[in-house]
């Protein structure tokens, strides 16, 4: 368990994959389960489907968050698209001790280019979203399965908190979203 006062999470995705929404939902879930402070920080550049995007969340159990800048040394990184790992500025933020949660249906070969202390988890968020029909115009919505996997790995909130926030945000679509969250929670696995 991370003992820092402020826990920093980086989201790397592509436009349309809902990484910005994921950072906002994570902040809400943290607040709902008793964190003292939680913020979401979107970095919005080229607003087009498929363009690389970043978002960040900062959460704290006992300290007020006073820094609203982007995260450069995250504790967790959620990678929505494996092709983003080829972007130097994304790969450079994978530092010692970070926990990666990657949307992938297969093991990823980093050619031993990572610190030994980096923990890597994979979850087939794309496959899960498509399995439950969670897509817009054929493009899978990845925020909920990625947050389901994050819930399992971090232990910061449970599926009950996810369900409460998702029902409030998505109303009648909550059930389908929770199916993807549960599936990701149950299938995320450490890459060894």
Across the strands, what pairs with 38? 59
Q: In this predicted model, what pLDDT tens digit does every residue of 141-160 receive, in sequence order? A: 999 999 999 999 999 999 99
Residue 78's DSSP bridge partners are 11, 101
Residue 98 has pLDDT above 90, yes or no: yes
Which one, of 56, 24, 53, lies nearest residue 144 by Cα? 24
The model's confidence at residue 1, banded by pLDDT at 50, 70 and 90, is very low
pLDDT tens for 30-70 read: 999 999 999 999 887 666 777 788 999 999 999 888 888 77
- Poorest-pLDDT segment among 16-30, 37-51, 83-97, 115-129: 37-51
* Cβ proximity of 26 and 7 under 8 Å: no
Average pLDDT value for residue range 20-37? 94
Q: What gap in Å lies between CA 118 and CA 73, rounded to an integer?
A: 13
Q: What is the mean pLDDT of residues 87-108?
A: 90
Judge contact between 107 and 191, C-beta under 8 A.
Answer: yes
Domain 7-190 coded CATH 3.40.920.10: yes
Distance between CA atoms of residues 171 and 174, nearest Å: 6
In the DSSP assignment, the letter for residue 165 is H
> What is the distance of C-alpha 43 from the center of its chain?
15
Q: What percentage of the chain has pLDDT greater than the value 90?
A: 62
What is the DSSP code (8-state) at residue 89? H
What's the mean per-residue pLDDT of the chain?
90
Tell whether the model's pLDDT for residue 161 goes beyond 50.
yes
Q: What is the pTM of this model?
A: 0.92
């Amino acid at each position: 368990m991370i003992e820092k006062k402020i826990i920093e999470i980086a989201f790397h995705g592509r436009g349309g994959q809902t990484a910005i929404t994921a950072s906002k939902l994570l902040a809400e879930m943290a607040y709902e389960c008793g964190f003292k402070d939680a913020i979401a920080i979107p970095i919005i550049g080229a607003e087009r489907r498929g363009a690389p995007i970043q978002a960040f969340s900062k959460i704290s159990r006992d300290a007020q968050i006073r820094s609203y800048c982007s995260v450069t040394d995250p504790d967790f990184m959620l990678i929505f698209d494996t092709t983003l790992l080829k972007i130097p500025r994304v790969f450079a933020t994978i530092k010692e001790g970070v926990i990666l949660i990657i949307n992938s249906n297969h093991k990823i070969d980093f050619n031993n280019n990572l610190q030994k202390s980096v923990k890597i988890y994979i979850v087939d968020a794309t496959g899960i979203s498509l399995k439950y029909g969670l897509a817009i115009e054929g493009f899978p919505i990845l925020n909920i399965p990625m947050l389901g996997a994050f819930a399992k790995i971090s232990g910061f909130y449970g599926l009950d908190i996810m369900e409460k926030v998702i029902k409030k945000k998505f109303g009648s679509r909550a059930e389908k979203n929770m199916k993807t969250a549960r599936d990701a929670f149950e299938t995320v696995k450490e890459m060894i």
